[in-house]
Structure 1
Amino acid sequence: MAKIDGDSMEGAKIFHDSLVVVDRSRKPSSGSIVIAAVNNEPLCKILILQGDHVVLKSANPAYPPRHILEGEELSIWGVVRHGVTSFE
């Protein structure tokens, strides 16, 4: 499980302070919502694969896509399978 910090995935109904269940055994594909790290910074984003190019996209249009540049370290921790939101 992972706790979400921020509102960049609200369009996918993943809200600030939500808990998400992450499947580390599932292979991510383009369009998967993933927990990733770019240069050790954890992120929850939509994975977009464009040939050799990788983009991490938010589900909130207020945030620009995060293009992974040559030399940056990308690690995909797993695919988000479920979300839990607290209403308190």
Structure 2
Amino acid sequence: MSKLLVEHEDATFLMRVARPSMINYGIDDGDLIVVDRAKIPHSGNIVVAVVDGEYTVKALYQTNDELMLKAGNPDYPNIVPRQGQILEIWGVVTSCIKRFS
């Protein structure tokens, strides 16, 4: 079962989503996401990023001269890093696990 969700065992983590900022991508508040830190992030991937020390889950969009983290909910802003802002792409989201009661 774990081989379906985990490609790089030593670099894969589970994180619980804390806000509904990605509902249009099927990721809801309280879901578990599988995050692979060994994958190279590409434009269009859903990623976990650290912006000024805070974790966020967003879709990565990158052109030659601009990077944007796109929210999957119109109630949440997209993030375009400002000059001097610290942004790190922490890992690529590979799966979302939902739990039904």
Tell me whether the two structures share a fold, i.e. TM-score over 0.5. yes
Match of 1:63 in 2: 76
The Cα shift of 1:70 comes to 1.3
Tell me the distance in 1 between the aligned counterparts of 2:16 and 2:41: 19
Match of 1:87 in 2: 100
Larger Rg: 2
Match of 2:36 in 1: 23
Tell me the distance in 1 between the aligned counterparts of 2:15 and 2:67: 22
The Cα shift of 1:65 comes to 1.2
Q: Which amino acid aligns with 1:13?
A: G
Q: Which amino acid aligns with 1:50?
A: T
The Cα shift of 1:75 comes to 0.9
Work out the percentage of aligned pairs sharing the same amino acid: 38
Total equivalences in the alignment: 88
Q: Which amino acid aligns with 1:25?
A: A
Structure with bigger RCO (C-alpha 8 Å, 6+ apart): 1
Tell me the distance in 1 between the aligned counterparts of 2:82 and 2:43: 17
1:54 corresponds to 2:67: yes
The Cα shift of 1:64 comes to 2.3
TM-score (normalizing by structure 2): 0.82
Q: Mark the runs of 5 or more structure 1 residues left unpaired by the alignment.
A: none
SS at the partner of 2:96? strand
Q: CA RMSD in A?
A: 1.0
Q: Which moved more, 1:38-47 or 1:49-58?
A: 49-58
Match of 2:23 in 1: 10
TM-score (normalizing by structure 1): 0.93
More helix by share: 2
Q: Mark the runs of 5 or more structure 2 residues left unpaired by the alignment.
A: 1-13
